[in-house]
């Protein structure tokens, strides 16, 4: 689902916000059900006005979902967890974190932040609805406010269901983790609860569909999605726990083969990329690490300009985000190398570059530590 293209909307508090194309489907579903069901309680409205109000209400609803994710993200960031982006997709919103929280307390605070925001929005909308209702405001405005407080309360309640990876499941995991001191066991139990809730939602929805309520097909899909996510998150926690046993230093390529920043791309292509085993090289100038050069960056420069272009002119210059300590564990680099991350990190010890670690080093370590892996022989 996240492989589908996404549309960048902008940044909130420095965090990129995007919508996955799958979200367009749910936007159309929500807006049309508002226009042709919910807001038809005002029969004296022209149709175009119903549609307009429905679209505005849907936008406000999805803005509330974004606020829910922003709330998770800000608490995560305050605790030192990097947030890559917030994405709206067909089943709601997700804040993509680069790391898992380090302690049960952090996880608890992060998980609670989203539903707390949804409840806060619900309370504000409820207050406005009540005040305006007493004042005898335009019924359509009251309808929009009523929709917003009810749906935000619904979002909070649904997300607090105690099945991982829903927020309530994360709260459950944090408590189990705190009680047992074992994050893997806590994840296994919380994910099992997630599967039970997912199957429960599917069963409930299918009975409803058989009884003629076809709107519940949606809930069945949500239940299916939850069971899939619960299984996936347990597997990734298992991998993460195994990688926690392995140090970055033990898997990196060392010493790092570095390229001088003042050589030309022509020399770079011949002496480094051609026949070399790396596709990325740290770049040094005067003994100092100044950047990273990827083969892709070289290829973007037209072939005939290679003899006249220096490596330092096309490299990625800002390497602050690419540094990792040699004594860190592989689980801490997993998130940074995954997804559309940089693909390689520069390993430093006591301020000096000592190696380079790539996504394939992590994958290899994962295979080596996998108790179920077997050799092809
Ligand atoms: Zn949430």
pLDDT, tens digit (0-9, with 9 covering 90-100), for 126-148: 999 999 888 887 878 888 899 99
Q: Give the integer Cα–Cα distance in Å for 336 and 331.
A: 10
Q: So where are the chain's domains? A: 6-243, 248-369
- Taking the centre of ligand 1 as the mean of its atom positions, its distance from the CA of residue 167, in whole angstroms, is 5
Residues 49-106: tens digit of each pLDDT: 888 888 888 899 999 999 999 999 999 999 888 888 898 888 788 888 887 788 999 9
Residue 160 CA, ligand 1 centroid: distance in Å: 8
Structure tokens, 326: 């040699």
Nearest-angstrom CA–CA distance, 96 and 17: 10
Ligand 1 centroid, distance to 341 Cα (angstroms): 23
Whether residue 35 contacts residue 51, with contact meaning beta carbons closer than 8 Å, is answered with: yes
pLDDT > 70 fraction of the chain, expressed in percent and rounded = 94
pTM to 2 decimal places: 0.73
pLDDT higher than 60, residue 245: yes
Quote the ligand 1 centre to 158 CA distance (angstroms).
10
**353-82-243 Cα angle (round to 5):** 65
Ligand 1 centroid – CA 36 distance (Å) = 29
pLDDT, the chain, mean: 85
272: which DSSP letter? Answer: I
Catalytic annotation, residues: 69
- Is residue 57 within 8 A of residue 150, CB to CB? The reply is no
User: In the 8-state DSSP scheme, what is residue 269?
Assistant: I
pLDDT at 376: 43
Ligand 1 centroid to Cα of residue 339, in Å, is: 21
Cα 360–chain centre separation: 21
- In the chain the first and final C-alpha atoms are separated, in Å, by 36
Q: SS3 for 372?
A: coil
**Contact present, 319 and 287 (Cβ < 8 Å):** no
Residue-level pLDDT at 331: 79
Compute, in angstroms, the gap from residue 180 CA to the centroid of ligand 1: 24
Å from CA of 71 to ligand 1 middle = 9
* Strands 280-285, 259-260: pairing kind: parallel
Q: Give the span between the Cα atoms of 155 and 360, in whole angstroms.
A: 39
CATH code: domain 248-369 is 3.10.580.10
Query: Which residue shows structure tokens 């429905």?
Result: 54
Q: How far apart are CA 41 and CA 179, in angstroms?
A: 51
- Crossing angle for the helix pair 359-369 and 217-243, nearest 10 degrees? 80
Give the pLDDT score at 319: 77
- The position carrying tokens 């080093």 is 361
- The alpha carbon of residue 66 and the mean position of all alpha carbons in its chain are separated, in whole angstroms, by 13
């Amino acid at each position: 689902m996240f492989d589908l293209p996404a549309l960048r909307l902008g940044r909130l508090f420095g965090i990129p916000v995007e919508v996955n194309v799958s979200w367009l489907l749910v936007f159309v579903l929500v807006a049309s059900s508002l226009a042709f069901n919910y807001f038809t309680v005002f029969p004296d409205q022209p149709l175009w006005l119903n549609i307009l109000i429905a679209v505005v209400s849907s936008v406000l609803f999805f803005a509330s979902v974004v606020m829910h994710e922003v709330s998770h993200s800000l608490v995560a960031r305050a605790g030192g967890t990097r947030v890559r982006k917030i994405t709206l997709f067909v089943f709601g919103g997700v804040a993509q974190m680069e790391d898992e929280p380090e302690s049960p307390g952090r996880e608890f605070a992060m998980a609670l932040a989203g539903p707390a925001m949804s409840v806060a929005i619900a309370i504000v909308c409820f207050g406005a609805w009540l005040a305006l209702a007493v004042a005898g405001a335009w019924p359509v405005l009251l309808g929009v406010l009523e929709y917003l407080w009810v749906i935000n309360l619904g979002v909070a309640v649904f997300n607090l269901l105690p099945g991982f990876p829903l927020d309530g499941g994360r709260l459950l995991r944090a408590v189990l983790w705190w009680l047992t001191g074992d994050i893997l066991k806590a994840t296994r139990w919380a994910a099992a609860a997630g599967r039970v809730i997912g199957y429960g939602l599917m069963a409930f929805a299918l009975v409803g569909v058989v009884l003629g309520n076809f709107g519940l097909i949606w809930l069945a899909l949500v239940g299916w999605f939850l069971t899939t996510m619960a299984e996936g998150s347990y597997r990734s926690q298992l991998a993460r726990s195994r990688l926690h046993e392995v140090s970055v230093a033990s898997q990196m390529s060392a010493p790092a083969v570095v390229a001088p920043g003042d050589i030309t791309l022509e020399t770079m292509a011949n002496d480094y990329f051609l026949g070399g085993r790396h596709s990325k090289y740290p770049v040094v100038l005067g003994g100092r690490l100044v950047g990273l050069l990827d083969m892709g960056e070289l290829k973007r420069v037209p072939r005939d300009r290679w003899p006249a272009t220096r490596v330092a002119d096309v490299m990625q210059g800002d390497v602050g985000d690419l540094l990792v300590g040699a004594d860190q564990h592989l689980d801490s680099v997993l998130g940074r190398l995954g997804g559309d991350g940089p693909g390689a990190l520069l390993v430093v010890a006591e301020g000096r570059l000592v190696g380079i670690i790539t996504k394939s080093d992590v994958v290899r370590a994962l295979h080596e530590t996998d108790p179920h892996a077997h050799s092809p022989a």
